[in-house]
Structure 1
Amino acid sequence: MSEAVSLLKQHLELYLESPMLLPVTGVVAVAVFCWCVTRMPKPFKSSIDINNQSIDIGDGVHVSPLMKDLKDGQPMKYLFEDAQTLHEAFLRGLRLSRHEKCLGKRTKEGYEWITYEQVHDRAQAFGSGLIALGLEPRPDTVIGIYSINNTEWVLAEKACSMFSMVTVALYDTLGQKACQFIINLTNQSTIVCGDSAKAQFILDDADKITSLRTVIVIDTVSHTNLETAKKQNIQVLSFQDVEKMGKKNLRSPVPPKPSDVCTISFTSGTTGNPKGVMLTHGNVISSTSGFLYVTQFAHQFKNETYLSYLPLAHMFERTVQTAIFMTGGHVGFFSGDIKLLLGDLQMLKPTLFATVPRLLNRIRDKVYSGVSSSGIKKFLLDLAVSRKMALVKRAIVTRNTFWDKLVFHKVQSLLGGRVVVVLTGSAPVSEDTLNFIKCATGCFVIEGYGQTEVVTGITGQFPGDTGGGHVGGPLVCNYVKLVDVPDMNYFTSNNKGEVCVKGPNVFQGYYKDPEKTKETLDEDGWCHTGDIGEWLPNGALKIIDRKKHIFKLAQGEYVAPEKIEGIYVRSKYVAQVFVDGDSLKTCCMAVVVPDQEVMDIWAPKNRFPTDMDKLCANKQVKDIILKDLREHGKKAGLRGFEQVLDIALIPELFSVENGLLTPTLKSKRPELRKQFQPVIRDLYKQHDM
């Protein structure tokens, strides 16, 4: 059968390139025949009833139906008895995979690996070296890590866990002042830097950092590093120097307790100083266990291969890696350049891929852009998606159909060809994109919802859930409830309100900031997320709004711009959109970034310039896009005052680099408002408002 399918595929490829086209019905008939004779796996049986994804246990508190299977019927603190801290989690992986690969580095030839035993021994040596430098092995000792994802990042983190120290991750987009604020606030004396440039970034203003004594550089220490450090009376050492120092003075581990803080994760925030989320070992293990408990039904994590490219500075990536280490899998790091990510994927061939919606959207857009110039190819793609979608709706996960071999094999090869589970989080992803990725990859695609204050996940889509447009039911590590938000007209009587979370995954508070802690954590231990959710009839949670990002128009109506943006971004013309308003005005305006790939094809077909600057300045193009946005808004039920009156087109994407997105790709609304205030003002002037 496989030879027949292969032969048919070759003939169809020749057929598609030939000017002498056979009737389309012939292709469809052959496709249907192969579809019928291709052997299909059985539907995946979900661990829960997907029509009953949460249970109301009273007072509006929802829990996972799986919680009844736990020993005490309470939120899960840990999945494995022998893994209740990050240190114990790694020791468990060590017992499972002692001489097997653990961490991999990309080289020209492939990946070079070190084993679990080597990671353990090097972490112990590095931790001993830190102690030799005068650091105390206790939970109030804070170590900074400022680097891209690599082996040494993990070694430093494992060393801190082994000796009960606390990590604080720094990252580029925080900026100089925020980094200084964090270092001083947490009293860091030692910072591990990825390279000489990052070390210099810290050293240049070290006179403003009162606690700093030592900078450890993973890569080569530069002459400039040494000169600047000498002037500041700071010692600079290489990572290898500290390891060697530790080997000569090897210390026995000082294991942490589950209640000890393991990391302070500073959220970049959208305004003001960063907030330091204090997370214990118990918090991280609880969240990781909740994640594993959901995914284990679809995939066993032993011998997992995972590509690490999402920043280790954020808890989503660290949670996934904790799950890998806890179960004895291995992690290969990306090459360091996001532009080479596809090459990394194809070299490593991971079985698990964690990513963000933006990349999934780009994959979908790229595939559709690639077939837009050919009617027959577009027809076959649509047909392939519809046939694979029929399988997805039956909970059949496969990449062995005729359509995979003919149409989707290129998409699958982009990810390396072995991915079994795709994880996505950090921002909403459209149902259309999720469905396409499920069809094209033939993988389990799990969308989670959470925030740093609960480590990672609050809810998640369960494997086998064939629906979309929601973020699934509660994880077994927490309770979830909604509370009324009268100002925005959201009430629990209508199954709508602010999402609140309670459980062993909830953080301990913001570091040295009791006022902001009280704003988020109430007296009963409920974490108020600021997100507005809705319980769907099947017990799943849908995020519909954001509490803080609202403004009032002149007629007294409240507007939630993120809701409108989420609708407008469905337009094929739009890559990004920012909606804003004025309390003295009666309507909203928007700034729109057109989708470059779509416009490159659309513009010449419609006799418009392909140059993006000229395209954005064209009033006719603007009017076409505005009309499309308003049609999407009408279909989605936006009220009149929620629809934008006018838009301005700009060519440059909002990005982390230009300061308009956070590292987790959320809009930095104060910065967007400041940047585009003159543009919005001009739009109002054009309408004499």
Structure 2
Amino acid sequence: MMQHTAAQQPDEHQYSVVLPEALTTNQWVVRRQVNALSPQRLVDTFPAPHDDIFTLYDNLESSIAEFGDSPYLGHRTSDAKGQPGPYVWQSYAEVGEVRSAIGSGMQHLGIQPGSGVGLYSVNTPEWCLVDAACHAYSLVSVPLYDTLGPDTVKYICNHAELAAVACSLEVLGKLLEVLHECPTVRLLIVYGTRPHQRLPDVPAAPHCKIMTLDRVRALGYKHPRPHHPPKPSDVALINYTSGTTGVPKGAVLTHSSIIANAESCASCCEMLTWHLPRSYLPLAHIYERFNFTLVTHYGAAAGFYRQARCLYRRGNVLELLEDIQELRPTIFSSVPRLWNRIYDKVMAQIQAANPVSRALFNTAYQYKLAALQRGDLSGGRLGPFWDRLVFSKIKARVGGEVRLLTSGASPISPDVFDFLRICFGATVIEGYGMTESSCLISMTPPGDPRAGHVGPPSPACEVKLEDIPEMGYTNADQPHPRGEICVRGPIVFQGYYKDEANTRDAVDAHGWLHTGDVGTWIEGGRLKIIDRKKNIFKLAQGEYVAPEKIENVYARSPFVMQSFVYGNSLRAQLVAVVIPDPEYLLPWGKERGLPADLAQLCRTPQASGVVHAVLKSMMEEGRAAGLKGFEQVAAVHLHPDPFSVENGMMTPTFKLKRPQAQAAFQPDIDEMYSKLPQL
């Protein structure tokens, strides 16, 4: 397969600077971004004429005034036979009116300012309408992933003391299972129902009223209430982390912190056009909350898929592609998991193409890659020619109109990053952040040709790297200082709801948020994520290992769709459970006369040589990424079924639940170790 080396070129541009000694704290160097305002001060509001936007309520009100008749929320219709039709849209003005009616209806039903309101469904326009109503009447939004089970829903309802929950008909059953154990929930609002559809009774929960969203809206029109705008310091939402271990933690985010975070991106991306339809990820995740805040600010239109979660679930890919073709988004936000799948699929098709088509693609790709390596983001003089001749077919897969691709939630490979820039002819941005920082901490500048980093700190925060002696990371490291990424500024959350102990662990006495990620400062003051402080463990020889870093490296192997790397202090070697990528493994096996059945290949791997091939490919990727010998796995077990939310192996944000994975695969882990020598 053709090797695509990520664009790396000399660059003397300084994207961040070290603060003067007077502004540094303790012994660590502190950096801020270089822009019109930073490093003199951190930004916390939008620039004029929008410098009067301090809350999410202000953000929508401003856009209603500026973009009233423009489309805002869109969903795809279906005919009587269930066949998809066109997208239909609600304008900003229409959304503002319906939002006020819903909020008035909730107040009429006794939901008072300061109360918590749960939002429990896939992405829908109704989700956004209820959320906007919360902001207009000083209610606290508490999003719940639609994939959460009854026990977790019950925990969040009780921990956050929710007064109301708005949910889709699809998840209503899960909520009704535990509603009688949620004494604070007085109102259950259901959407996605048919006209005049009768809702189930809740005799086990007489304290709670249940009604459709249409009914609540009608009550609001009949009993209108004036808005009760929140203050910037008021809590906008409690975002419960997905929890790879233990119970979820509720991150408390204020209106001011969310607005500061959105502004930090706006000041970096002023050259981008946002006034066009787009599609996006789960709104319960802070990444999409951040995206949607910007969409609203710029008067863009947000289109919803028929099944919003089909970005991540098997079986709905065709619906996703059909909706993309209809929507033709100009902005597409996703996670490396999807970008990797697109990359692997395109490269597999190129390898299977006839020699002429393969040579044409490689010539076009190498030409645009060379342009990137020179710092030319336009693709060179012949870039438009190659786009029309070769890459337009790839771009058509996401509607043909995309101008901006964003990636977040986990690191993206530099090769995949450049692949997206070359094949889609779009601006590609990788962001780094977390719920506790209101999302964005840093992102790659749109005009930066270099891949493999996450850019400078956002203008709304400052960043330092704190030494981790036990892992060998210090600020004294040359030529690039290394350490745990710590963040301070108006974007940092208020703490975990009702959880002082975990709050103290996350934010120190000087206001620094400790991310648990390990970074290094590279040329130009760019931040690069290199490791993970959390989830580390020590091997028998005393070396520390961060399995997430290793799993991200192994994901670059065409054989590997997912992996779980395991080790402990009693053994000197690592082992891994690997979910093979069927789109690569099955054709590979067919060429060698092996069974065309993934489960069969995984059950009898030794006879077929599959394990050897998978392990060899993983080792090659590990060496290419600079993994040390003790960081390479010594054995693998192949398993045909992917880790998923449904089987309890992943969180709703698609992070591996390591304790559950260990419990599920302990017999396989023991078997692998039994065949390895004791070192």
* TM norm structure 1: 0.89
Give the Cα separation in 1 of the matches to 2:644 and 2:367: 36
- Which of 347, 365, 368 is 1:388 aligned to? 368
Q: Name the residue aligned to 1:315.
A: 286
Contact (CA 8 Å) 1:216, 1:239: kept in 2 or not? Answer: yes
Equivalents in 2 of 1:292, 1:395: separation in Å? 24
Q: 2:187 aligns with which of 206, 209, 214?
A: 214
**Alpha-carbon separation, structure 2, partners of 1:391 and 1:106:** 40
Alignment of 1:281-680 (within 5 A): 281-297=255-271, 299-301=272-274, 303-308=275-280, 310-336=281-307, 338=310, 339=316, 340-373=319-352, 374-393=354-373, 394-397=375-378, 401-494=384-477, 495-616=481-602, 617-619=604-606, 620-680=609-669
Measured in 2, the distance between the counterparts of 1:635 and 1:91 equals 51
Rounded Cα–Cα distance in structure 2 between residues aligned with 1:247 and 1:500: 48
Distance 1:397 1:335 in 2: 35
Give deviations 1:613-657, integer Å, cap 9, x for gaps: 222222111112212222332333322222211111111222222
Q: Quick one: distance in 2 between partners of 1:224 and 1:206?
A: 18
Asked whether 1:98 is paired with 2:71, we answer no
Task: Tell me, yes or no, if the aligned pair for 1:397 and 1:444 is still in contact at 8 Å.
Answer: no
| Superimposed CA distance per residue, residues 583-624 of structure 1 (whole angstroms, 9 cap, x where no aligned partner) | 111111111122111112211222322211222222111112
1:289, distance to aligned residue in structure 2 (A): 0.7
How far apart in 1 are the matches of 2:450 and 2:464?
A: 22
The whole-number CA distance in structure 2 between the counterparts of 1:150 and 1:642 is 43
Decide which moves more: 657-666 or 177-186. 657-666
Q: After the TM superposition, which of the residue ranges 607-616 and 354-363 deviates more from structure 2?
A: 607-616
What's the offset of the Cα at 1:673?
Answer: 1.8
In terms of mean alpha carbon deviation, does 358-367 or 102-111 score higher? 102-111
Paired residue secondary structure (2:243): coil
Deviation at 1:292, TM superposition (A): 1.5
Q: 1:89 to 1:356 in 2, by over 3 A?
A: same
Q: Is the 8 A contact 1:290 1:476 kept in 2?
A: yes
- Amino acid across the alignment from 1:52: Q
Following superposition, the deviation at residue 449 of structure 1 comes to: 0.3
Aligned match of 2:42: 74
How many pairs were matched up?
634
The CA distance in 1 between the partners of 2:188 and 2:19, in whole Å, is 52
Q: Could you say what secondary structure the match of 2:562 adopts?
A: strand
CA contact (8 A) 1:162 1:254 kept: yes
Cα distance, 1:228 vs structure 2: 3.2
Q: Residue 106 of structure 1 aligns to which amino acid in structure 2?
A: R
For 1:541 and 1:657, the matched residues in 2 are separated by 35
- Report deviation, 1:447: 0.3
SS of 2:104's equivalent? helix
- What is the CA deviation profile of residues 178-205 of structure 1, one whole-angstrom value per residue up to 9, with x for unaligned ones? 111110011112110111x422211122
Any conservation in 1 of the 2:540–2:568 contact (CA below 8 Å)? yes
> What SS class does the counterpart of residue 233 from structure 2 fall into?
coil
* Distance of aligned partners of 1:634 and 1:615 in 2 relative to their CA distance in 1, 3 Å threshold: same
- In the superposition, relative to structure 1, how do residues 74 and 640 fare at CA in structure 2: closer, same or farther (>3 Å)? closer
* Residue deviations 1:350-405 (CA, integer Å, cap 9, x gap): 11111111111111111111122233332222222111223333333369722222
1:475-526 deviation per Cα after TM superposition (whole angstroms, max 9, x unaligned): 1111111101122111121211110111111100000101100000111111
Partner AA of 1:312 in structure 2:
L
Partner SS state of residue 378, structure 1: helix
1:109 alignment partner, SS class:
strand
Q: Which string of whole-angstrom CA distances, capped at 9 and with x for unpartnered residues, describes residues 313-335 of structure 1?
A: 11111111111111222111111
Contact persistence 2:44–2:256 (CA under 8 A): no
Distance (whole Å) between structure 1 residues aligned to residue 564 and residue 659 of structure 2: 11
Counterpart of 1:501 in 2: which secondary structure?
strand
The range that moved more, 464-473 or 651-660, is 651-660
Name the counterpart of 1:13.
none
What is the rounded CA distance, in whole Å, between the counterparts of 1:385 and 1:236 in structure 2?
A: 57
Q: Taking structure 1 as reference, are residues 597 and 185 closer, same or farther at Cα in structure 2, changes over 3 Å only?
A: same
**Contact 1:77–1:504 under 8 Å retained in 2:** no
Mark the runs of 5 or more structure 1 residues left unpaired by the alignment.
1-48
Structure with greater helix share of residues: 1
1:54 corresponds to which residue? Answer: 16
8 A Cα contact 1:200 1:225, kept in partner:
no
Please report how far the alpha carbon of residue 230 of structure 1 lies from its aligned counterpart in structure 2 after TM superposition: 6.5
Q: Give distance in 1, aligned partners of 2:180 and 2:53.
A: 42
Give me the whole-angstrom Cα distance separating, in 2, the residues matched to 1:628 and 1:487: 30
Which stretch has the larger CA shift, 386-395 or 352-361? 386-395
2:422 and 2:597 map into 1 onto residues whose CA distance is: 34
Aligned to 2:252, what secondary structure does the other structure show? Answer: strand
Residue 30 of structure 2 aligns to which amino acid in structure 1? Answer: V
Residue 473 of structure 1 deviates from its aligned partner by 1.0
Matches within 5 A, 1:13-24: none
Residue in 1 that maps onto 2:3: none
Amino acid of the structure 1 residue aligned with 2:291: V
Alpha carbons of 1:224 and 1:101: their partners in 2 closer, same or farther (altered >3 Å)? closer
Describe the superposition over 1:292-319 as per-residue Cα deviations: whole angstroms up to 9, x where unpaired. Answer: 111223x133x232213x1111111111
Task: Give the whole-Å Cα distance in 1 for the aligned partners of 2:161 and 2:625.
Answer: 50
Contact 2:540 2:571 in 1 (8 A): yes
Residue 127 in structure 1 maps to residue 103 in structure 2 = yes
Match of residue 152, structure 1, among 105, 108, 126: 126
Alpha-carbon distance between aligned partners in 2 of 1:240 and 1:230, rounded to the nearest angstrom: 24
Partner SS state of residue 66, structure 1? coil
Larger mean CA deviation between 557-566 and 185-194 belongs to 557-566
Equivalent residue, structure 2, for 1:63: 32
In 1, Cα distance between equivalents of 2:401 and 2:496: 40
Q: For the Cα contact (< 8 Å) 1:229–1:235, is it kept in 2?
A: no
Q: How does 1:192-271 map to 2 (within 5 A)?
A: 192-195=166-169, 197-220=170-193, 225-229=199-203, 232-271=206-245
Deviations 1:444-485 (A, max 9, x none): 000000000011110100011111111111111111111011
Counterpart AA for 1:345? I
Give the drift of 1:69.
5.8
SS in 1 for 2:535: coil
Q: Distance in 2 between matches of 1:367 and 1:657?
A: 28
CA-to-aligned-CA distance 1:46-79 (integer Å, 9 cap, x gap): xxx8731211104411110015468x63333444
Provide the C-alpha distance between the structure 1 equivalents of 2:567 and 2:198, rounded to a whole number of angstroms: 49
The corresponding residue for 2:4 is none
| CA-CA distance at 1:224 after TM superposition | 8.4
What percent of counterpart residues are identical?
39
Structure 2 equivalent of residue 27 of structure 1: none
**Amino acid of the structure 2 residue aligned with 1:130:** M
Q: Taking structure 1 as reference, are residues 50 and 164 closer, same or farther at Cα in structure 2, changes over 3 Å only? A: farther
Aligned to 1:34: none
**Contact 1:424/1:446, CA 8 A, preserved across alignment:** yes
Q: Mean Cα displacement is larger for which, 282-291 or 337-346?
A: 337-346
State the shift of 1:233 in Å. Answer: 4.6
Q: CA RMSD in A?
A: 1.9
Contact 2:45–2:51 (8 Å) recurs in 1: no
Q: Specify whether residues 229 and 218 from structure 1 end up closer, same or farther in structure 2 by C-alpha distance, changes over 3 A only.
A: farther
Equivalent residue letter for 1:367: V
